[in-house]
Amino acid sequence: MRVKGEARRPRQEPSLSPAPESHHSHPAPATLFEEFLSRENLARALKRVEQNAGASGPDGMTTADLRPWLHVHWPEVRAKLEAGTYRPSPVRRVTIPKPGGGERLLGVPTVLDRLLQQALLQVLTPLFDPHFSDQSYGFRPGRSAHEAVRVAQKAIAEGHDWVVDLDLEAFFDRVNHDALMARVARRVKDKKVLKLLRAYLNAGIMAEGVLVRSQEGTPQGSPLSPLLANVMLDDLDQELASRGHHFVRYGDDLMIYVKSQRAGERVMASTRRFVEKKLKLKVNEAKSAVAPATARPFLSFRFFRREAEVKVRLDPKALKAVKMRLRRLTGRNWRVSMPVRIAALNRFTRGWTAYFALVDTPSLFAQLDGWLRRRLRQVRGEEWKGWRARARNLCALGIPAPTAYSWSVSRKGCWRIAGSGILSRALPNAYWQAQGLRSVSESYRCLRDARRTAGCGPACPVVWEGSG
C-alpha cells in the first residue's frame, strides 16, 4: 500500500525512455509475468504501438490518445492485471478485399490491448522463436518473404519440379483454442500469462454493434496472432521435416516441393490427414493443389526456367492488383494537387518496388513506368479544362500553336490522347522527373545494384527488403 504523499513507483508508468543503467537498478523479473509488466518491456511496446499507429478499436481511442490515458489510468489497469481480473475488450471486425477476390476478415483491438499484446509478444518470442523450424519464415525476427522465395527457388532448381500447395481454410478463424493453449503451455509455465492469453482468445468480436463470442480463432490484426499461428503450425513443420520433405512455410502459406506428381498426391493426402486430425484445421480443397512448381504462385511471385536456371517473375494477379491501386491514386475523381498525388504515388511505389525487386524481369518495371506516366498525362490533360486552356498550356510546353489548337479540340477520348505523341512531347519523362515522380524501373535497378554490392549510395535511399 502506498502511503499518502509517497511518490508512485516509476515502474508503474510506461515510459518511452528506458530506465538509466545503474548498479542499483530494479532487480531482474522473477517470473515471465513480471517481465511482461516490467517498465522496460512496456516502454518498448508503447513505442512500437505508437510507431505502427493504425485504426482505433471499438472504444474509439487512437494511438495518439494512449499515452495521456495511461498517465491517468495505468495504475488501475496494472492492478487488474496483477489480480487476474483484467478483461480484454472485444476486437472491432473490419473487412478488406483480397487481391484474388473475396474479403479478408480482420480484428482491430483497442490501443490498450494492442499495447498489452505487444508487451506479451516481446516476452514470448524469445521463448518460442528459437525452437521453430528453419523452414518457417513468416512473422519471425530476422526473416523475410524474400528468403522464403529463395528457398522455393532453390528447391525447384534442385529438381523438385512439382509442388504441393496447401491452403488452410480460414486458418485464423478456425484455430482451436484448447489445442493452441496446449501448445503454448509446453513452454509457458506462468499461469498468469496463460490466463491472460486465454482471455484474449475469448475476448470476442464486435460486429455492427453486436458482441459475438469466439469459441475458436485468433483474429488477424492482433499483434499476437502471427506468433500464435506459428506456435500452432510448428507441429506441422516438425512433421514434414521428420519425413525429409523440401518445404517452406510463410504464415499459413505452405509449399512442399517434390519430384513427381505421384509423390505430390501422396504427400497431399498424408499432410491433409495430419492437419485435420492432429491440428483440428481444415484444408481448402478449392485452393490447394498438386501442380508443376512453375505454375503455382508463392507470396505473389512465380518461377520460370531459363536454360539451366530458375528465375523469379511477378504473379499476374499481383500486377493486376498494383494497377488497381495506381488507378485509384491517379483517378480523375481524386481532386488533389499534382504534388500531393505524386507524393502518394512515390510512397506506394517505393514499398511495392522494394518487395518485388526480387523478380528477374526488368522490362515489367519499365512497362509499368510508361503506363503510370500515361495515367498522369491523362490527369494533367483533364486539369486543363476547356479547349482554350488546353491550347494555351500545350503552347507553353513548346508545342507549335497550330498543332496545339488542333489537339485541344480533338474529340478523341482522354486515355487515347494521353498516349498520343503530342502529349508525350509536351509532358515527357523529364517533365515528370522535374515534378518529383520516382521512376519505378530506376528504383528497381538501384535495388538490384544494392543487393549485388551489399550497400546503397545517397542516390538510392530505398531499402532492399531481403538484405536485412
The helix/strand/coil state of 282 is coil
pLDDT for position 214:
60
Using DSSP bridges, classify how beta strands 289-292 and 205-207 pair: parallel, antiparallel or unpaired: unpaired
Q: Which three cell numbers stand for residue 431?
A: 517533365
- Residues 29-74 pLDDT 10s: 679 999 999 999 999 999 999 998 878 787 888 989 999 999 999 9
- CA 432, CA 172: separation in Å to the nearest integer? 44
| pLDDT band with cut points at 50, 70 and 90 for residue 436 | very high
Q: How many other CB atoms are there within 10 angstroms of residue 17's CB atom?
A: 9
pLDDT for position 441:
94
Whether the Cβ atoms of residue 79 and residue 99 lie closer than 8 Å to each other: no
> Looking at residues 406-429, what average pLDDT do you find?
86
Whether the Cβ atoms of residue 58 and residue 90 lie closer than 8 Å to each other: yes
pLDDT for position 277:
92
pLDDT at 179 exceeding the cut of 70: yes
- Residues 283-297 pLDDT 10s: 999 999 999 999 999
Using DSSP bridges, classify how beta strands 210-212 and 205-207 pair: parallel, antiparallel or unpaired: antiparallel
Nearest to 113 by CA among 92, 136, 89, 132: 89
pLDDT for position 54:
79
> Looking at residues 328-354, what average pLDDT do you find?
93
pLDDT at 366 exceeding the cut of 90: yes
Q: pLDDT averaged over the chain?
A: 85
* DSSP codes, 74-96: HHHHHHHHHHT---PPPEEEEEE
392 sits in which H/E element: helix 387-396
105 sits in which H/E element: strand 103-108
Q: Which three cell numbers stand for residue 140?
A: 519471425
Residue owning grid cell 522527373: 433
Q: Which three cell numbers stand for residue 154?
A: 532453390
Cα dihedral value 203, 168, 141, 465, nearest 10: -120
Is the Cα dihedral 445, 296, 161, 142 positive or negative? positive
Q: Is the pTM of this model over 0.85?
A: no
Amino acid at 429: N
pLDDT at 10 exceeding the cut of 50: no
Nearest to 421 by CA among 437, 401, 399: 399
> Looking at residues 139-149, what average pLDDT do you find?
94
Residue owning grid cell 522463436: 129
Beta-carbon contacts of residue 240 (< 8 Å; ≥ 6 apart): 135, 247, 256, 271
Give the count of alpha carbons within 13 A of 433, CB side only. 9
- CA 205, CA 228: separation in Å to the nearest integer? 18
The helix/strand/coil state of 70 is helix
- The strand pairing partners of 250, in sequence order, are 253
Is the Cα dihedral 260, 143, 343, 363 positive or negative? negative
- CA 341, CA 335: separation in Å to the nearest integer? 9
pLDDT for position 103:
61
Residue owning grid cell 509488466: 37
- Residues 181-224 pLDDT 10s: 999 999 999 999 999 999 998 886 655 544 455 655 666 778 89
Amino acid at 302: R
- CA 242, CA 97: separation in Å to the nearest integer? 37
| pLDDT band with cut points at 50, 70 and 90 for residue 354 | very high
Is the Cα dihedral 184, 188, 189, 195 positive or negative? negative
Share of the chain above pLDDT 70, in %: 84
Residue owning grid cell 491517379: 330
| pLDDT band with cut points at 50, 70 and 90 for residue 102 | low
Q: Which residue has the higher pLDDT, 445 or 213?
A: 445
- Residues 225-284 pLDDT 10s: 899 999 999 999 999 999 999 999 998 899 999 999 999 999 999 999 999 999 988 999
- CA 365, CA 372: separation in Å to the nearest integer? 10
- Residues 297-327 pLDDT 10s: 999 999 999 888 999 999 999 999 999 999 9
pLDDT for position 2:
45
